Amino acid sequence: MVKIVATAEAPAAIGPYSQAVIAGDMVYTSGQIPLRADGTLLEGGIAEQAEQVLKNLEAVLREAGSGLTQVVKTTVFLKDMNLFAEFNEMYGSFFKDHKPARSTVEVARLPKDVLVEIECIALRNVEIV
């Protein structure tokens, strides 16, 4: 069974895709960029944008019956790898004790010319130890 996840607590999809999809006990999120829930773009540096992206992921995961502590894998897209250290500091403030697997890649361009986009895979109804 596949279920579409939609919450007003995170920005609506800006294309023909879902905020996330639940398949069994797994949640697959679409990439989140630093849009506020009302769809407006958050200006600022990498720390501010990453914080908004992670808050968006939290909201989508919560709607799916999951959370950041149940994330097993993230994929991070950075506009500039020179932002990695500053990004990593903000990311670490959200993933303190629980550290999911992660890939980070530099890309030529992101939607709306933002600095960061993150997608994740998380579990539902399963505790990670």
State the Cα–Cα distance between residues 119 and 84, nearest whole angstrom. 16
State the Cα–Cα distance between residues 98 and 22, nearest whole angstrom. 21
Q: Domain limits of the chain?
A: 2-123
β-pairing, 71-78 with 101-106? Answer: parallel
User: Block means of pLDDT (10 residues each) for the chain, length 129 residues?
Assistant: 95 94 97 97 96 98 96 98 98 95 98 97 84
| Fold entry, domain 2-123 | 60s Ribosomal Protein L30; Chain: A; (3.30.1330)
Give the pLDDT score at 129.
Answer: 67
